[in-house]
Amino acid sequence: MLGKIIAENDFISRVGIIEHFLINNLTEKHEYKANFINNALALLTDNKDEGCRVNKVCGGIGCTEKSLERYFKECLGMTPKKAANIIRVRSAMDKVVNNKWQFKPHLAGYYDGSHFYKEINRFRNER
């Protein structure tokens, strides 16, 4: 599994492998929850630059905020808000790495450059 992740060149492919692994390893008991999680992650990924709020995600997938948060914590060990933040930061970092001079933080869902760098530092310190 780790070899497959390392062999991939881009972040999106790595995330796909990890998501596939996590979703497939959930037991049948968690399949119901896995569908909500998968749909929520898809919505968060699709709206990563706009900063999609959890209540909008819940409305889009037909789930309450409390239930979605519980599903995320049980299955992934984090809240939907934290997952959305990770998706947004990683997407922005990909944009910075690919084209540093044309990157604009406000187009990646941040207020300004200082907001972006504060999030990067928070993300780096949490690991």
The span from the CA of 119 to the CA of 116, in Å, is: 5
- Structural domain tally of the chain? 1
Does pLDDT of 51 surpass 70?
A: no
Q: Which of 57, 111, 109, 49 is nearest to 79 (CA)?
A: 57
Judge contact between 84 and 119, C-beta under 8 A. Answer: no
Domain region containing 25? 2-126
Q: Which of 100, 92, 101, 94 is nearest to 49 (CA)?
A: 92
CATH number (domain holding residue 116): 1.10.10.60
pLDDT tens digits, one per residue of 65-105:
998 899 889 888 889 988 888 888 887 777 777 777 777 77
Whole-number pLDDT of residue 49:
67
Does pLDDT of 53 surpass 80?
A: no
pTM of the model: 0.66
